[in-house]
Amino acid sequence: MNMDVLRKQDEEIYGAIAGEVRRQTETLELIASENFASRAVMETCGSVMTNKYAEGYPGKRYYGGCEFVDIAENVARDRAKKLFGCEYVNVQPHSGSSANMGVLFAVLKPGDRIMGLDLSHGGHLTHGSKVNFSGQFFDAHTYGVERETGCIDMNRVEEMALDVRPKLIICGASAYSQGFDFKAFRDVADKAGAFLMADIAHPAGLIAAGLLNDPMPHCHFVTTTTHKTLRGPRGGMIMMGQDFENPLGITVKTKKGVRTKMMSEVIDAEIMPGIQGGPLMHIIAAKGVAFGEALQPEFRDYAVQVRSNAAAMADWFNSLGYNIVSGGTKNHLMLIDLRNKDVTGKVAENLLHEAGITVNKNMVPFDDKSPFVTSGIRVGTPAMTTRGMNESHSEAIAGLIDRVISAANTDSIEKVCREVREDVKAMCQDLPLNDFGPTP
Ligand code: DSN
């Protein structure tokens, strides 16, 4: 994007952005939750819609002059409904955390019990972590993966749910490479008398493309971010396959008397005015653009390639003697347990950074190291696939990562990182980012 005005006005911020453009252009992005949004999405994020206050919802705003932002929000909502096959959507959450907060605050009271996947087993902060609102406002219980398989065992989830009797069960993860059986989760939720929420922030693009189980028919609530596999602007969203009368006893007075509010009304009110004020209209408009892109047939091809790249990379890592938690991947990411390589996640992340490869250190299930050190790394293929990379690149990248990790405890590590960095740069130059990501 042309940044001449910023360059002249603010050298410091311009310099930071220019550095980030270089970094995104010349290095390999393997953080599983990152992607390159299209130029159309980024133009929309940088548009005049950032100037507009629009508290409320289309047709029911607290400010005048909302006729154009209303168009954008309606387009975003309609496209999201078509993309995910849902009856209700709220596109206003600023992030995945706000989306989750919106649902939790809409259906729970402080102190209510919830159940989610443990953060150290691949879950998310907002699924009940003690350092997050979800674990502080609510009585959070966490289920995990099995030590032997690295997979979630639904019998154990059921056992725990019947014991804990949570009011809400959360399924979904940030570092789990297997699919979720949403129907089985719903059966458990029904037996325990709980609401079920799926957080599909990570695999949303693969779900939209029909490559993974569909949560909509089974979950009361589905939340997501819009910037990971969905490849949109940074933001969040709440959906329901079908709206229903809220069973919480929340009513509204109308001219005809008192009626029970629909769940959609309860959630809308929880997002605004409950936890947010003015919506980010530039981001909502960009969500609309991204959903329009995701509705095109090319997006399905992209999603298929993301998954195929991840599978090829996991196979290659397995053949090189790496331990992938759960044995492999059915989605866009893998969690690699580095304990048999005598390297911590922290060291691996730093060395790979030196080599031009960006990953994040990650706890592995039953980790004996702290979250600042960790025993693993998480690797994902959404961004490299947007660059146009395929299975052969995946294998080559696994080989480059292995070169660095194998040299970690040797005298040649600096030389290896320098050489790999050159290989990475050449790979990136071969596949410039064209319609996505930064203009070099
Ligand atoms: N921080 C995100 C991730 O990296 O998975 C989840 O919110």
Smallest CA separation from ligand 1 atom 3, residue: 33
Return d(Cα 92, Cα 89) in angstroms, integer.
9
Q: What are phi and psi of 201, to 5 degrees?
A: -50, -45
Mean pLDDT of the chain: 97
Closest of 202, 130, 201, 137 to residue 167, by C-alpha: 137
Q: Cβ(33) to ligand 1 under 6 A? A: yes
β-sheet bridge partners, residue 357: 28
Question: pLDDT tens across 117-127, in order?
Answer: 999 999 999 99
Q: What are phi and psi of 324, to 5 degrees?
A: -90, 125
β-sheet bridge partners, residue 60: 57
Residue 435: predicted pLDDT: 76
Task: Go through 377-390 and write b for each residue having 16 or more CB atoms within 10 A of its CB, e for each that does not.
Answer: bbbbbbbbbbbebe
Structure-token pair, residue 84: 């995910």
Q: Percentage of the chain with pLDDT > 70?
A: 99
Report whether 335 contacts 175 (CB < 8 A). Answer: yes
Report whether 240 contacts 86 (CB < 8 A). Answer: yes
CA 240 from chain center: how many Å?
Answer: 18
Inform me whether the pLDDT recorded for 437 exceeds 80.
no
CB count, 10 Å around CB of 395? Answer: 18
Question: pLDDT tens across 125-153, in order?
Answer: 999 999 999 999 999 999 999 999 999 99
Question: pLDDT tens across 20-42, in order?
Answer: 999 999 999 999 999 999 999 99
**C-alpha distances out from residue 431 to 298, 366, 401, 436, Å:** 18, 39, 19, 11
Residue 434: predicted pLDDT: 75
Return d(Cα 257, Cα 331) in angstroms, integer.
49
Residue 440: predicted pLDDT: 55
DSSP letter assigned to residue 341: G
Does the annotation count 430 as an active-site position? no
Residue 438: predicted pLDDT: 72
Q: Which atom of ligand 1 is nearest to the CA of 34?
A: 4
Residue 334: predicted pLDDT: 98
Work out the average pLDDT over 405-434.
96
Catalytic residue among 228, 341, 361, 421: 228
Helix then strand count (H, E) for the chain reads: 16, 17
Work out the average pLDDT over 323-347.
98
pLDDT-derived band at 439, boundaries 50, 70, 90: low
Return d(Cα 39, Cα 45) in angstroms, integer.
10
Work out the average pLDDT over 184-204.
98
Does the annotation count 385 as an active-site position? no
Q: Cβ(126) to ligand 1 under 6 A? A: no
15 Cβ contact list (under 8 Å, min separation 6): none
Inform me whether the pLDDT recorded for 272 exceeds 70.
yes
Does the annotation count 369 as an active-site position? no
pLDDT-derived band at 433, boundaries 50, 70, 90: confident
The DSSP result for 239-267, as a single string, is EESS--B-TT--EEEETTEEEEPBHHHHH
Inform me whether the pLDDT recorded for 354 exceeds 70.
yes
Question: pLDDT tens across 57-102, in order?
Answer: 999 999 999 999 999 999 999 999 999 999 999 999 999 999 999 9
Instruction: Indicate yes or no: pTM above 0.95.
Output: yes
Smallest CA separation from ligand 1 atom 5, residue: 174
Smallest CA separation from ligand 1 atom 4, residue: 33
What spatial distance separates the first Cα and last Cα of the chain, rounded to whole Å?
9
Residue whose entry in the numeric block shows the structure tokens 């294998």:
395
pLDDT-derived band at 247, boundaries 50, 70, 90: very high
Report whether 123 contacts 97 (CB < 8 A). Answer: no
Structure-token pair, residue 19: 């550095």
Q: Percentage of the chain with pLDDT > 90?
A: 97
Closest of 62, 131, 35, 134 to residue 380, by C-alpha: 35
Residue 1: predicted pLDDT: 73
Work out the average pLDDT over 287-316.
98
Return d(Cα 29, Cα 358) in angstroms, integer.
5
DSSP letter assigned to residue 274: I
Does the annotation count 88 as an active-site position? no
